[in-house]
């Protein structure tokens, strides 16, 4: 009976053992002109990880107003996901290796100087993987 219970629970233990998460944060950027893009420093796991990304949470803080038309993407080495706000979650990186670093990319369409400049105070990701 005990062996049967352990056998039934084995998939749950294996599933839990294969999951993890990493978190990284960094300073933001300053963007002075429309029509140009700026990328954050890479945000990566502080230690080697094995597995594929599942749910990714993001957050960034602006120091000042949000420019009209601001476009923000979160990018791995193999794909980018359009972000719809200053914080949220996405499954857009499902099946991307969890070891890949992520970068925020900011862009304001058009031309000319941004007044005031786009000043990103900080950015953060939490990557869940399996």
- Predicted local confidence at residue 8, as pLDDT: 38
Query: Binning pLDDT at 50, 70 and 90, where does residue 2 land?
Result: very low
| Among the listed residues 129, 61, 122, the one whose alpha carbon sits nearest the alpha carbon of residue 93 | 129
Cα(121)–Cα(60) distance, integer angstroms:
7
- Domains of the chain by residue range: 21-129
Mean pLDDT across 5-23? 54
Left, alpha or beta for 115 (phi > 0: left; psi -120 to 50: alpha)?
A: beta
pLDDT of 72-103, one tens digit each? 999 999 999 999 999 999 999 999 999 999 99
- Predicted local confidence at residue 45, as pLDDT: 97
- Predicted local confidence at residue 18, as pLDDT: 62
- Predicted local confidence at residue 16, as pLDDT: 42
DSSP character at residue 128: E
β 30-33/103-107 pair status: unpaired
Q: In this predicted model, which residue has the larger pLDDT, 4 or 70?
A: 70
Query: Binning pLDDT at 50, 70 and 90, where does residue 116 land?
Result: very high
pLDDT of 105-115, one tens digit each? 999 999 999 99
Q: What is the CATH number of domain 21-129?
A: 2.60.120.260
**Predicted TM-score (pTM) of this structure:** 0.83
């Amino acid at each position: 009976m005990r062996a049967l219970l352990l056998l039934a629970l084995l998939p749950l233990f294996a599933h839990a053992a294969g999951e993890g998460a990493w978190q990284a944060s960094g300073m933001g950027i300053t963007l002075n002109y429309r029509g140009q893009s700026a990328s954050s420093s890479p945000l990566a796991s502080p230690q080697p990880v094995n597995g594929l990304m599942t749910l990714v949470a993001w957050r960034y803080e602006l120091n000042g107003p949000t420019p009209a038309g601001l476009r923000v993407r979160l990018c791995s080495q193999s794909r980018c996901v359009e972000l719809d706000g200053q914080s949220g979650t996405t499954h857009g990186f499902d099946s991307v290796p969890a070891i890949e670093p992520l970068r925020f990319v900011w862009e304001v369409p058009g031309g000319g100087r941004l007044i005031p400049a786009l000043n990103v105070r900080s950015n953060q990701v939490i990557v869940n993987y399996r």
